[in-house]
Amino acid sequence: MNYPHPILAKEGWPFIAGTLVAAALTSFAGLWSLPFWLIFIFCVQFFRDPPRVIAGGEKSVLAPADGRIVVVEESDDPYLNRRALKISVFMNVFNVHSNRSPIKSSVQQKWYKPGSFLNAALDKASAENERCALHLKTIDGRDITCVQIAGLVARRILNYVEAGTSLDAGQRFGFIRFGSRVDVYLPLDSKAKVVIGEKVFASNCILAELS
């Protein structure tokens, strides 16, 4: 399912409206309004949320976010206590920040952990930053962990699903404001389709293929 929404994410409407009013008022008052217009333009570009074509097939694990690949490695999955293939996507403030389901699945469990706000590009952000994790189970019983992680600027993780929720591939499930990261932990026999440094787009790009 491609989440039906306007081109601008609903999470951004208060920010966009507020900065537009501030810019307009300072313009009408004859005050120096340029900084307010620049903030308004930044908010519009940050909260853009274009529709996406869903790539791949039933075993394709899609990018859950726009950004740059910063990790592709075997790692411990701290949520399911297993060894896993970890792939991480770092979002800077110029990326689209909607988060989308990496595969058709059902939510088994959800964890929220408070924490720090380190630069999300750093690997230790996975363990130390504020985060919200979902245990997803695919239609053929494979386990995937998808973790939203707050960053240096991001101070709000929004997650709209709970245990028992069914997700289609590419379905929108959350948003992180102002710079962040998403980690995905996959079964070890998954085949990575991305490399470190590669740019990806949510739902358009395949991170890995399940066996």
Q: Where are the beta strands (DSSP E) in the chain?
A: 60-62, 67-77, 82-91, 98-100, 105-113, 131-138, 143-150, 156-159, 166-167, 172-177, 180-186, 191-192, 199-200, 206-209
Radius of gyration, alpha carbons of the chain: 18
Count other C-beta atoms under 10 Å from residue 179's C-beta: 24
Among the listed residues 48, 47, 52, 54, the one whose alpha carbon sits nearest the alpha carbon of residue 12? 47
| Catalytic residue of the set 60, 180, 190, 203 | 180
Q: How far is CA 144 from the centre of its chain?
A: 15
180 is a catalytic site residue: yes
Give the burial string for 51-80 (b: 16+ CB within 10 Å, else e). ebebebeebbbbbbbbbbbbbbeebebbbb
Please, which residues bridge with residue 185 across strands?
86, 145
- Alpha-carbon distance 51 to 58, whole Å? 20
Catalytic machinery residues = 180
